[in-house]
Structure 1
Amino acid sequence: MPTYSYKCTECGHAFDIVQSIADASLTACPNCGGTLRKVFGLTGVTFNGSGFYRTDSRSNTKSGSGDSSKSSSSSASTGSSASSTS
């Protein structure tokens, strides 16, 4: 369930509360009974892992046509390096 931040417009009391998306927004401050407003801030996003690559979100059909030049150039360089070592 998401956590929502509220701040009272009268006394300035700020707090966070865990609510369901279907729950109604709070309207009364628990300290003074004043009007509450939701506080919208930046969304925290954390990317964990070894990294993200340009080809991670591509399907095989799209990358097959775009990567054909890369695979042919890499195989050509592999072939030329193999022939130069022989």
Structure 2
Amino acid sequence: MPTYHYRCKSCDYDFTKQQSFTDDPITVCPECGKEQVRKVYSAVPIEFKGSGFYHTDKSK
């Protein structure tokens, strides 16, 4: 199951939650109880391994 990062816009409470793809997103803050919670999106790191990714790996 994927883990989602949430933040409350009202009290700035940060938390993560494991949820299924079919679960509804969380909208109520567990800290203050207001409906100000939004998902936080961030970039996914990419790691290139093996040969063929760098210009020095090309055959001449």
TM-score using structure 1 length: 0.54
- Larger Cα Rg: Structure 1 or Structure 2? 1
Gaps of 5+ in 1: 55-86
Higher helix share: 1
Gaps of 5+ in 2: 54-60
What RMSD over aligned residues (CA atoms) do the two structures have, in Å? 1.7
Higher relative contact order (CA 8 A, sep 6+): 2
Deviations 1:6-46 (A, max 9, x none): 00010000111111111100000000012100000111233
TM-score using structure 2 length: 0.74
> Aligned residue pairs: how many?
52
**Following superposition, which runs of at least 4 residues in structure 1 exceed 3 angstroms of deviation?**
none
